[in-house]
A and B are shown apart, each in its own frame.
Chain A
C-alpha cells in the first residue's frame, strides 16, 4: 500500500501498540499533525512545553512498562526534549522520541529551526536515527521500539525530515528485525549461578542490594521469593523502591541505603561479607566513598548490562542477564541460610537507630505529611516526585507496596520531572490514584503543565512541600558552607534575607488553572486536607507550609563512607 511518510509513521506506531503520544506541534511536523487530526486510535496529549512531553512519556513508561512516545518539531522543539531524554537515559526508561527535521535538501544549511538533534542526543540515547528516505521509516520505527524496550531499556530518538513525512512509499510493516550489532538476548551462564550459590552458602553476613533493574524486568515477585526463600535481608536503591514492599517491620527489609539511606541499611552494607547486587549499578549516591564500600565483602552482581559490571566495584561473580530470569534460575537452587546471628545484629541496629524525626505540634513536618499520605493511600498510590528534599522524604517515609509506583528521576536528578511524569503515569494507569509530591522550587520548573492536566482531564493530586527554599541545596549550604544561603530562598529577598513575601500564591495558581486548591500550615489540618483533595474528583493542589529548615537525615556527607552518617543516629 502506497502511503505518505506521516501515515506510515502513524500506522507503524499502531503496530507497536502505541495508544498515546505526548506532543507539541511546529513548522516541519505539520504534515504529521495533519494525519493525527482524524486519528482515532492514538490519543494525542497536547502538552505546554516539549520538556513536559518527554517527561510525560517517561512517566507513562515507568508506570505501565510500555514504551512512552513523545513528539516535537525541529530545532527548539527537539532541543527542549533533551533534558527529558537524558532523564530517561540515566534511569534506563524506554521511550521513543520523534522529532521533525528540516527537509533533507536543507540539512546542514543552518535553515530556520534546524538543529542537529541526532548529534546533540548521541550521548543521551541508547540509539538514534536520522531518516533519509520514506521507504526506511517503517523499518526504523520497528527497530527503535525493539531497541528501546529490550536489553537495558533506554530512549531512542527518530529524527524525521519534513520531506520524509510528505514523501510516499510502499507500506508494509516488517515482521523481523535484522540488527547484527544488537543482540539483547543473553543466555544465562548457569556456571556463574552455581558459583554465586556457593558464595551464598558460605556467607555469614549476606545482604541483597537491589535497584531499578528489578522494576524494569518486572522481577518483583521473583525478588520477594528469593529473599523469603533464602532469608537474606535486603536493601533498596531509590530506583528499586516498591520492588519489595517498603515495610520496615519486615525483619528482612532494611529500607533504602546510601546517602539518605537508613542507618541500619548502611551499617549492614558496611559489615556485610557478601553483597548480592541485583539490577543496581553502584552509583556514587549509594556507595559513598567507594574504597570503603562494603570493604570486607565479596560481590555477586546480576545485571543485564555488562558495562555496569566491575565499573565502580570489582565483582567476584558477575551474572549477565535480566534480573527476572536470573532470579528464576537462582530460586531453583537456593536453600534457607543459617544466618541468625547476622539477623539478630540487624534487628538490634534497627531498634537502636530507627528511621525517625522530631515531631512538632505547631510546625508541619514534611515527614509527617508523607506518612499521612502513605497511611491514607495504604501505600497503593502512584507517587511521582520532583527532585530534592521532598523526594528523599518520599523515599524514606512512603511505604510503597508495589513496583512501578514510585516515579522519580534518580540518575539525572531532574527538577520539573514530577508534574509531567505524573500526568503520563495517570494517563497510562487511569484507575490508580496518582500524586506529584513536589517542592516549591521544582514545581515551578514545569508548572505550565498544569494546563495539560486540566485540559486533558488528568486527575492528578499535587502536594507542594513548601518551605520557601530550594531545600536540598540549603541543607548542603547549612552543613558544608557555613549557612551561607546563596540563591536558595524563594521569597522576595534582600541580599538573601527574607522579606516574608512569597510568590507565587499556589492556591491562586490552582484557581487560575481550574485546579482544586488549598493551603495548610498546621499539623492538625494535614490529614483532613489530604482526604479532601482525594475526595475531589479532579486535579488538585495542596500547598503545605512545612517547617522551613528541616533537613533530610540520616545523611552520608559527600565523599564519606557509609558509616559516617550525620543525623538520625541514636
Chain B
C-alpha cells in the first residue's frame, strides 16, 4: 500500500463532495485525507485527496473520478514535483515547568504558539505531512489533549 496524492478540480456545486465521498465508499477505496476549498475561480473547487492503494486501485480511482460529470480534471501529483502543506493545531497539557521544552520543540519545527493557559499550550505547525507527523511524535512524550489537522493541500511546481 502506498499513499497517492490527487488534485481534483470540481464544479463548485452543492452535492459534489457527497458524490466524491460516495464514490470512494461505494467502491471500497480508502481516503487517507481530503481537503476541499474554492479556487481562484469561484465556480471551481479543488479537492486534494490522499488515497491508500496500489497502482491498480489508483488507476480505478482516477478513472472513476473522471467519470463524474462534476469533476473537471484529475491530476495525480504522486510522481510529480509538487509542493504540499498541511496544518496542525496541537494542544498539549503541560504545567509551567515543562512549558519551555514544548516551546523549544515548536521552535525547531518553525511552529508557533497560538495559545497558552495554565495547564495547556497550543502549537500551530505547518509543513509537509512528514514534518507534521514528526512534531506530533515528539509531543506525544507530553500529553496531547486535542489535535486538529487540515489534511494535505498540494500544487504542482512551476
Query: Chain A interface (Cβ within 8 Å of chain B)?
Result: 118-119, 122-123, 126-127, 130, 147, 179-182, 305-307, 310-311, 314
Chain B's closest residue to A309 (CB) is B63
Q: In the complex, which residues of chain A have a beta carbon less than 8 angstroms from the beta carbon of B59?
A: 310
25 contacts between A and B (CB under 8 A): A118-B15, A119-B18, A122-B15, A122-B18, A122-B22, A123-B22, A123-B23, A123-B26, A127-B69, A130-B15, A179-B69, A180-B72, A181-B10, A181-B11, A181-B69, A181-B70, A181-B72, A182-B69, A306-B63, A306-B66, A307-B60, A307-B63, A307-B64, A307-B67, A314-B56
Give Cα distance in the complex from A12 to B34, angstroms: 39
For residue A313, give the distance in angstroms from its CB to the closest CB of chain B: 11
Across the interface, B68 reaches (CB within 8 A) one of A118, A180, A181, namely A181
Q: Which residues of B contact A127 (CB under 8 A)?
A: 69
Contact A310 B70 (CB under 8 A): no
List the 6 closest pairs (A to B, CB-CB), nearest first.
A307-B63, A127-B69, A181-B72, A182-B69, A306-B63, A123-B26
Knowing that A181-B11, A181-B70 touch, tell me 6 more A-B residue pairs with CB under 8 angstroms.
A118-B15, A180-B72, A181-B71, A306-B67, A307-B67, A310-B59
User: Does any Cβ of A come within 8 Å of B100's Cβ?
Assistant: no
> Inside 8 A of A119's CB, which chain B residues have their CB?
18
Q: Does B19 contact A (CB under 8 A)?
A: yes
**Are the C-beta atoms of A147 and B66 separated by less than 8 Å?**
no
B67 and A122 within 8 A (CB):
no
The CB with the most chain B CB atoms within 10 A, among A126, A147, A307, is that of A307
Residue of B nearest to A179 (CB): B69
Is A122 a contact partner of B19 (Cβ separation < 8 A)? yes
Question: Which residue of chain A is the closest to B61 with respect to CB atoms?
Answer: A307
Are A147 and B69 neighbours in the complex by a CB distance under 8 Å?
yes
Which residues of the partner chain B approach A310 to less than 8 Å between Cβ atoms?
56, 59
The smallest beta-carbon distance between A144 and chain B, in angstroms, is: 10
Residues of chain A within 8 A (CB-CB) of B23 are 123
The residue on A at minimum CB distance from B19 is A122
Residue in A123, A181, A182 with the greatest tally of chain B CB atoms within 10 Å: A181
Residue-by-residue, is B56-90 near A (CB-CB < 8 Å gives 1, otherwise 0)? Answer: 10011001101111111000000000000000000
| Inter-chain contacts of B64 with A (CB < 8 A) | 307
**Chain A residues within 8 Å of B60, by CB:** 307, 311
Output the nearest chain A residue to B67 by Cβ-Cβ distance: A307
A143 (CB) vs chain B CBs: closest residue: B69
With a CB–CB cut-off of 8 A, which chain B residues contact A147? 69
Q: How far is the CA of A512 from the CA of B11 in the complex (A)?
A: 54
In the complex, residue of chain A having the shortest beta-carbon distance to the beta carbon of B9: A181
